[in-house]
Each structure stands twice: as C-alpha cells, then as structure tokens.
C-alpha cells in the first residue's frame, strides 16, 4: 500500500478574520491548500477533462493521456476516487473491465477547470511572447557583462604591459 495523506489538518477558512478574500494562504497544512494541490495536479486536470466527455476505461485513459505511466495513472485515479470526484465501477467479466466516470461533484469541478484551461489557451501567445522577451533581456545582460569583463581584463593587461 502506498499510504495517501494520513493527516487531517482541519479547517482554516472559517476563522472569521476575513480581510478581503483569502485566509487560506498563511497557514501551511490548510485543507484548502491540500485540496488545491490535488486538484491542480498535472494528471488530475487531464483525467477530469477527459472524463467530462464520457466515461472511460483504464487503458483508454492511458492511451489518451500521452506520457503518463500506469503507476501515475493508477495513483491519480485512486486519489480522485477517494476525493469523490470520480467513480470506479468494476464489471466482473473476463477479461475484467473497469469504467471511470465523473461524479456530480467532479462535473462541477470540471466547469471551473475549463475556465482555467480557456484562460491558458487565450493567453498562450502572450505568455510565449513574454518569455521570449524575458530570455532576450537576460541574454543581452549576460553578453553585456561578458563584454565589460573582457574590457576590464584588456585594461589590466595594458596597465601591466605599460608598467614594465
């Protein structure tokens, strides 16, 4: 068995001192932060997105999610099942068949996830541009530093040569 979050940290969002929007940021081991980590997980997002279309079996999921190992897929599915976001139904046939599908709660999660995905799609060009600009700036700075260093070395050599 591979454990799986044995600690129950307790709430931290109802302390009453709500000075704006969030209180979940200060405390570590906040339950909201834990759930967020689970939900914002790389594979979880993909699984939920895929299952929103229709229920899928293990191998179908595995094929559709490029790059996932069966270990990670299994883990992800167990976690989502434990959190009540997906349901797992085993058909006692030979060979065995297992179907995964979103629970109602999982479906509501997908709605909010989709806004995140949509945001990403809409801004991917802007982000790519920002990265390119950042990298270009960093490169320019680095080259400037190298030129300066080279100039300093040359100067030092000249001084030494003139001094002898």
CA distance 99 to 51: 10
User: Minimal distance in Å, beta carbon 2 to DNA?
Assistant: 7
Q: Name 21's Cβ contacts closer than 8 Å, sequence gap at least 6.
A: none
Part of the chain binding DNA (CB under 7 A), chosen from 11-19, 62-70, 111-119, 144-152: 62-70
Closest alpha carbon to 44 in 86, 1, 88: 86
Classify strands 56-57 and 97-102 as parallel, antiparallel or unpaired. Answer: antiparallel
88 binds a second copy (CB under 8 A): no
Shortest gap between Cβ of 116 and DNA (angstroms)?
A: 18
- In the bound complex, what is the minimum distance in angstroms from residue 42's beta carbon to a second copy? 5
Kindly state the helix (H) or strand (E) to which residue 154 belongs, with its residue range: helix 104-163
Q: How many residues bind DNA (CB under 7 A)?
A: 22
Distance of CA 11 to the CA centre of its chain: 23
| Closer CB to DNA, 15 or 98, in the complex | 98
Count of residues engaged in binding a second copy, rule: CB under 8 A: 60
What's the min distance (Å) between Cβ of 22 and DNA?
20
Q: What is the CA radius of gyration of the chain?
A: 26
Q: Which does 22 bind (CB under 5 to 8 A by kind): DNA, a second copy, none?
A: a second copy
- Here the tokens at position 10 are 């307790």
Q: Which residues are near DNA by CB under 7 A?
A: 1-2, 42, 57-60, 67-72, 74-75, 77-78, 88, 95-98
């Amino acid at each position: 068995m591979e454990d799986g979050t044995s600690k129950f940290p307790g709430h931290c969002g109802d302390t009453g001192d709500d000075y704006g929007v969030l209180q979940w940021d200060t405390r570590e081991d906040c339950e909201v932060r834990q759930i967020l980590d689970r939900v914002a997980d790389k594979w979880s997002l993909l699984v939920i997105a895929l299952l929103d279309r229709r229920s899928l079996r293990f191998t179908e999921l595995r094929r559709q999610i490029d790059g996932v190992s069966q270990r990670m897929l299994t883990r992800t599915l167990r976690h989502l099942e434990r959190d009540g976001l997906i349901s797992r139904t085993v058909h006692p046939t030979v060979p065995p068949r297992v179907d995964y599908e979103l629970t109602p709660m999982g479906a509501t999660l997908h709605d909010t996830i989709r806004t995140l995905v949509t945001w990403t799609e809409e801004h991917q060009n802007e982000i790519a541009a920002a990265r390119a600009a950042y990298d270009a700036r960093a490169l320019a700075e680095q080259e400037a530093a190298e030129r300066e260093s080279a100039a300093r070395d040359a100067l030092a050599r000249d001084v030494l040569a003139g001094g002898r």
